[in-house]
Structure 1
Amino acid sequence: MMPIIEKLTDYRRLSEDLERSVDRPAYILTGEETFLIRQICARLSSSLVTKGAETIDIVRLDGDGKSSSIDMVRLLAELSTPPFLSQRKMICLNRTGFFSGVLSGGDGIVADLEKALTEIPSHSCLIFVEESVVSNNRLLRQVLRAGALGAKIIRQPINELLKWVSGLCGREGLRITREAAESLILRCDYSMSDLMNELSTVFLYYRYTAGHSIIVDDIDLLCREDLSGQIIYLTEAIASGRIDEALQKLDILLARREPPPYIQAMLARQSRDLVIAKECGTSGRIVESGVTQSDYFARKLSSQARRFSLSKLEQMIENSFQSDFAVKTGKLDGEDALAIQVIRACQAV
């Protein structure tokens, strides 16, 4: 007997439910970790649809985020039609907008659809992949009460990603240092899809060189540049008051075509994180504060924070505000405002 769960759950709870049984009338998936969402859809497909029957027993309907973009008449027709060869028909609906706003269409069609989604035939299973889901949406609550399972799949915590990256490397007969793994995770902003792409490059390199241990220097050589690392180099120059070097580091970021507002936001964030790091003192307390999940990055913050006075960090945050205000009011363009911000930060005491 499947338990009724009347709220959105997470990836762990969803995985546990799939281990129990794939018996829900519908699954509603949302969240930014698209890699895991694709894996879940593949797992559902292999459980529900007979191998070789995918083209006839899997139906796909794509929308644009608005319910009016979905052919509701066809959806109702597909729901009423049994599968040809499989245990259940799998109807995949992408970006329907059903659970983020009011359904559009004639009153009769909407009523029929609401009834159909709460009384899904046992021979069908609906898989919704949505950009956004409103937790108090009326239709969502009705569908969940009817036995559907909804899950918000967010990016995974660093400890889970470290295990995952280590496992992928292990399958290739490779070891990866914790420092290298954390550096790669930060570069990819915790995205499993991006991590998989970067690791594919690393694995090809190691097959060619016959190496066995991945270190942070290999990540620097083979993978995307570390923007957070470049910001750290910039703040190192600021800490020493070296204006020429700081402007050179800024030019490197601009040459990479990083948008000035993004660099400005990263610099402001780094200044804020350094204030917290200075107050925390140790890398362990920095992790506990929630500034970062990475021991590697926490150690870097702790080391760098010791080179700044609290008054200098506070002045850097104030400079970030003044720079942002100057750009938004049209007094300066983005690059000039950044250069002035960096110079003032170097001169602060």
Structure 2
Amino acid sequence: MYQRSSTVLRRCLLPRSSQLQIPSIRPRFYSSGPISRPPRTDRPTGTYIGVTIGLLLGGYYVTHLENAPETGRRRFMTISQEEEELIGKQALEDALREFQGRVLPFEHPLTQQVRRITRRIISSSNLGHLEGESPLNGEDVIDFWSVPAFGNAEIPRSPTMHPDKEWVVLVVNDRNFVNAFAAPGLVCVSTGIMPVARNEEGLAAIIGHEIGHVTMRHTAERVSTSKLFLPLTGLLFLMGIDFYVSSMLTEYLYNLPHSRKLETEADIVGIKLMSRACYDPAAAPRVFQDLNKLEKTSVPKFLNTHPPTPERIAHLKTLLPSSYEIYNANPECARLEEMRKRGYIGRMRMNID
């Protein structure tokens, strides 16, 4: 108490001018208020960190861009051929586990029909061979990627597609599961989609579309993009954008529109694949017309992973003239047509009984 009082007394005895000359030892900034906050240049901020991360991500993105085959679309790709092979193996394991007890046996007529269609599609475009069968061993096969009618230039083949590529075919016995999908080395078709296909050519349109996804490396592209979005979401968070908001922005501004682009590409490639395999390309828009009749709900385009079915039908119809050019360019197709006219063979219907 005594010392504190003495200090006050000494301060009071000093001239006012002397008091003003005494330097203040109090910190200039002592609260979190906007007026008292230190300048932003005093320490790194989220904005600076965000800009740095953004520049690094931008450089990484640009150095991993490539042109997609067939369309030439610029895309981000980081998955190697070896990694894509592993993705295909994992997809097969997942399918066998998910559909355990529902996969039709090898000798079942439906399995044999689906295998026959898949065999024609992959062999006619030199994309590989079925599991348990021998490769073409150098047999001369016209590659649909280089047909002049499409693009007037050769387009490089996906590195995962080669004559030695082995494909597994699974047929899932489930009429309530209306679906088909493919992965590198895998084609899976449900019995539920066969009434929509109606016949072998309709199913060829469906299988061709799914294999089109594989030849275009769409799964690898999706995985590559997902690697980019995690740090991108963190970057937006550092810039003050809520995680939920940034996720929604990513979903609606990129993921869904991008998915619709991939479906359109698979439609383009799929109709060419089936045409090269001597299946009537007119079956492709017809299948989507039947699917359109089954759709009970109308989802706004911006919320859908697929383009609106009427748009896909119209687009496929515009591809018919060029698809028939591929069909007519294959001498095998003319031979099959002649055999049909003479009654030696017929157009098979899918028997799901």
TM bucket normalised to smaller? under 0.3
Structure with larger Rg: 2
The TM-score with structure 2 as length reference comes to 0.21
The TM-score with structure 1 as length reference comes to 0.21
